[in-house]
Structure formats: structure tokens, C-alpha cells
Chain A
Amino acid sequence: MAINNISGCIGCGVCVKTCPTDVIRLNSKGKAEIKYPEDCQICHLCRMYCPVDAITITPEKSIPVIVSWG
């Protein structure tokens, strides 16, 4: 399901800012939370920018994928 796990978050909010499609938000506890997974474009920027390497991403999209053929 695209970005699928955040563990060990320190609440810096870098991933929230970094995500081009606004998938991640800080929750009421100040921790990053995957709020809009269906908008994830699986680009890994959040993971690469995370200072504590807290983000895990899998290659599957959480909604059906429309392609040109196949």
C-alpha cells in the first residue's frame, strides 16, 4: 500500500513538508501519520529525507492503477 509504515518517528515534520502529494500529516501526538495513502506516488522522497530513517515503503498502490494497455 505505497508508504506503509512509519516507526521511530521523532516528529520533526520533514516528511510532511517533503511529500509532493501531501500524503503525510502530523497527528495529535505530534507524530507523522499516513493520512492520504491513496495519493502516494511511491517516489520515496519522504524516506530519503527522514533523518531517522523511520519510513518504509512498498511498491503497491492502494487504489486501482490505470495504464495505457494491459
Chain B
Amino acid sequence: MGNNINRREFISLSGGFAGMAALASMGISGWGDNEAELTVDEIESKQHSCDVLVIGGGMAGLFAAIKAHDAGAKVLFVSKGRLGSSGQTPFAKGIFEYDPKNAKLTIDEFVEKVSLSAIGTNNRVYTRQLAEHSKARVDELREWGFFESPLYNKSFSKPINERQIPLMERITITNLIKENGKIAGAAGFSIDEKEVHFFNAKSVILCTGAGGFKPNGFPICDLTHDGTIMAYNIGAKVTGKEWNDGHPAKEKNAAASFDGWGDMFLQKPSTTDINIRHDLGVDMNYQAYVGGGGSMRMGPQGPNGGASVKGGPQRPAGLDNQMPGGQGSKPEGGKRPPKGKEGGAPPGMSGGVVGGSSAGMSIHKSEGLVPINDKCESNIPGLYAAGDALGSHMAGGIYTQIGSSLAGSAVQGAVAGEAAAEYSGKTEIQKLSKSKINTIQSEIFAPLKRESGYSPAWVTQTLQGIMIPNFVLYVKKESIMRAALAYVVELRESHLPYLRAKDLHELRLVHETRNMIITAEMKLKASLMRKESRCSHYRMDYPEIDHENWDAWINIFKGDNGEMLFEKQAFDSWS
């Protein structure tokens, strides 16, 4: 890929693109002195060892920890936030349950129909696995009291406490560690105590969720693709970066994710059954774009009450007449609208809407580590991923089945947990080398030592100004993406090394900012590479589906010299 572009070329390319710079960095101080409240010498180093290290306290992590434990492994469970109260899990209210007894489609028919909607972008093995295992997971959740409260910490804690699985919360994992070509553990720091933690593990399961650019209106501001980038840094293959979640937010108080979803966050979870759709969301971005960005309204016939705009993202035959960006496009938001409101605006989203509320996020389950088999295993021995951290393409590059995301996380977590336990049973632990520990520790805390530097909040806001506008990642064009890429590369090369942190909270922001910048580069380059339009990836300059060249996923990996490399992987094949 010839994405190398220098600044001068960029300036000549961009023309009216200067608005981007104006958008960036509103009101947040950028470069400044670092008034650090703690010194690196105060940090205490702690080491832990286990068979299976589960990273991430959402739905996937819950099942990964439980199933690995039940399969006989010594499990350590670590989370950036609180169990059941971080990432997207707390806001996912619908869980898909395929019950063979009263299902209106057989599993074969279900897989077929999902594949039709996904235009081949789904991995049928994972689609099938979802349907086959969902009921067992739902039954377990029911037993733990999951369906009895809108808050999940209690029901998630029950099975973890019963098994006495050690759980460490509010630990930001920053690095995965590889020794002798195999996974050896992970490292991270506490945001409460002055502690750095090194985990020595035979196997690691990433349940770290997806991520975004800390966008407004969707509660994913703690998700910055941490797991994906850590894994990429040690050589794992990553996929699905060109797809787009196209959720809108309310025009008024766009950042208020709670208010934007009506009373959804207050609801207790419930199960959903088969209802295969093709929920785009990005078609609304397109309509806003060609409509001159006028006020978008959600009506019964979609954006602008059905005022039709020619062109734009297409749906497969038989799956039209659905509400873009609506309730259905939030598989996790599971609850279907009450009868008679089918096809109405998403809850609480009547009136004007704006785009970009989930900017930086792909479709659930489509982005993350490339699986090499149906066991959620990555190309690095001993490294597994589940849920939104695994690029299983369970539903493909489009939202197909309501509630399948939460169910998929549960199903894959369990599969990965069992597989990781089995792997660790026949593997020797790889010792962490002293030099690696020292290097990682000094890298993690470098921003604290910096006497001056850029604030992560400023760099993040600059990145948002570059990546969130409608004409960059939603309605894609080569020229604009190259221009944006030049900005992002600038951030990576000349700003990322100078991020400062005055306390542990800001240190976490620094690492999140780093992960977002690398994600932005992946998203732009993958979007440039896929020269067609399909599902949630829409190119103005290549508006048609190209079966001949693009019945393939895009894998991203790090070359020997640290460069970002890309490869195609044919649909329905393994890496």
C-alpha cells in the first residue's frame, strides 16, 4: 500500500480541509509543563503467575474466567474497570437465545440467512457457534440472577465468588509479553495504588472489547481497542477495521449517552429471538452528507421521514424497509421496539440527530484479533480473544441479528476459556525476562517522568477532530482519507512520544490515546485498501460490491521493522 504521504503533498491534496484543524483541540490546553503528583520511584512492582490470565471484566471475560476455571486451570481475572460495569456490557440489554425447541429457523437456515444479509462477510463457523451455544449461556446467566436487575455486577460476581477466582479491578493493562514466540503474560498498572503488575501466564484471553475515539453519545469512552493494539504490538493479526458502527446521537446534548437511549439503560436484560436484519446506520451518514448536512430527523420511514436520496449504501434484496441506525442496529440494545413501533426511531431519538456517536468502532465481533480456528485462538500460541476483542466476523460487517453481540461474547468467552485451559494444561510457562520487565516498566511510566509534553486530552480531541467528521470514515473517499492519514501519522510520529501524565488517571489516558491513534491509522489504511462498498463500509469512489476482488477480509499485522502490513484473507477460509 502506498500510503506514505508527506506533509507538502498532503497540503496540496487537502484544499478546503483546513477546517479540520479548526475543529481540533477546542478549549483544552495542549503543550505544557507536567506537574506530576507522583514519581516513578514510588511505584511498587508486583508479580503474579497463573495458568490463564483473563483480561476484561465484561460478558466475554466472565465466561472465559469461569470456563477456564471449571476446566481445571488456575485463573487470574483482571479488569480495567469493575466487573460487569465497564465496557459495553453494562448497556447491553438484549441477549440472543437460539432455542431449538421453538426456533422458527433451523441452525442451517439461520446461518444461511445471516450470510445472505452479511453479503458473505461473516465467518459461518462463528455464526453457527453462536446459535449452537447461546441457550446454554443464557441458562447459566439466568441461574446467576442476570435477568433480575438492570445492573450486572451482582450476578457476575456470584459465579466468580463461588469459585473464588481472584479478581483484580481498575488495572490498566498496557502490554502483552511474548517470550520464545509464545505468550508469556501481560503488564499494567493500577489507577488507585502506585503499583505496576506483571502477570506471568501460560495463556492469555483478551476480553477487552472493541473501542472508539471516545466519541459522544455512545458509552464506550473507556474502550480504546487496548487489547487489539497490545496484541498487534507483539505480532498478532488484526482484522475488521474498515467496518463502521453508524449509530446516531441526539442533536441536543449529543454526549449524553444515557439520555440518548431513552430508558434503555434502566431496563433489565431480556432474551431476543431470531430476527435477521441488515441495519446500516451509515446510510444516514450518507444522506446527511448528500443532503448538505441539514438537520436529520428520525421518522417512521427512517432519516428525514423517508425523504429519499439516491445512491449510498445498499441493502441486499429482501432486507430493505428497515430503520437504519435504529433499534435493530444495536444488537446489544436488544429489546425490540414495542409492537406497532417497529421501524420507528430508536428509543429516545425522536427529533434531530447527529452522527458519530460511536466513531472509531466497527461492527460488533467484526474487528479484533484474527482467529486461526473455531477456538478463538490467535496466531500467537497461547493468546486467545473473545467477544468484541476477537475479529470473529460472527455477524459480518453489518448488524444482522438483534442481541447477538451480547450472546456472542458469552459464547466465545466460554469457548476461549475452555480452549485456553486445555492449552495451558500441556504447556510450560514462559519465564518473563528481567530485561523485558525493566523495559516495559520504564515505557509504561515514561509519561510521568516527562517534564513537559502534550496533554492526552488535547491529542485525543485533535484526533476526534480529524476522524469523526462525516466525510472521513463514514462517507469514504480516497483523497480525504489520505489527508486524514497524514494528520494521524503526524500525531503518531510527533505527538505520541511526548504525551505527559501528572497522575495515574492521566497515565491511563496517555495509553488510551496511543491505542486510539494506532487504531485510526489501521481504520484509514484498511478503508483505503478495500476498494469497494459492502455492508457498513461505503466508498463514494467505489460504490459497488466487488465480488471478484473483495470476497475477503483484511488482516493487519506488524512487520519486522515495525511497519503496518496488510493482507487479504478469503471469506470462509482460515488464516
Contacts and interface: CB of A to CB of B under 8 A. Distances in A.
Interface of A: 2, 17-22, 35-36, 38-39, 41-45, 48-49, 57, 59-61, 63-70
A5 to B, nearest CB: 16
B118 to A, nearest CB: 24
Nearest to B218: A41
B27 interface: yes
A62 to B, nearest CB: 9
Given A42-B255, A43-B219, A49-B85, A66 B465 contact: yes
A9 B475 CA distance: 47
Q: Interface residues of A: mostly helix, strand, loop or mixed?
A: loop
Contacts of B220: 41
Contacts of A57: 258
A45 B88 CA distance: 12
B470 interface: yes
Nearest to A67: B354
B526 to A, nearest CB: 19
B357 A67 contact: yes
B151 A48 contact: yes
Given A42-B255, A43-B91, A66-B23, A49 B151 contact: yes
B253 A36 contact: no
Contacts of A39: 221, 509
B303 to A, nearest CB: 12
- Among A57, A60, A70, the one with the most B-chain Cβ atoms within 10 Å of its Cβ is A70
Contacts of B295: 70
Given A61-B216, A63-B28, A41 B255 contact: yes
A18 B474 CA distance: 32
Contacts of B169: 17
Contacts of A68: 285, 288, 354-356, 359, 468-470, 474
Given A67-B356, A68-B354, A68-B469, A22 B151 contact: no
A69 B492 CA distance: 26
Chain B residues touching A, range: 35 or more
Interface string B177-220: 00000000000000100000000000000000000000111011
A63 B222 CA distance: 17
Given A18-B82, A67-B354, A35 B505 contact: yes
A61 B253 contact: yes
25 contacts: A18-B85, A20-B86, A20-B221, A39-B509, A41-B219, A42-B253, A42-B255, A42-B256, A42-B257, A43-B258, A48-B266, A59-B252, A59-B259, A60-B253, A63-B461, A64-B26, A64-B461, A66-B216, A66-B356, A68-B288, A68-B356, A68-B359, A69-B355, A70-B295, A70-B354
Contacts of A2: 255
Interface string B287-298: 011000101100
A25 to B, nearest CB: 8
Given A20-B87, A48-B266, A69-B296, 19 more contacts: A18-B82, A20-B81, A21-B221, A22-B170, A22-B191, A41-B222, A42-B259, A43-B91, A45-B85, A45-B151, A57-B258, A63-B457, A66-B465, A67-B217, A67-B354, A68-B468, A69-B356, A70-B251, A70-B295
A45 B468 CA distance: 26
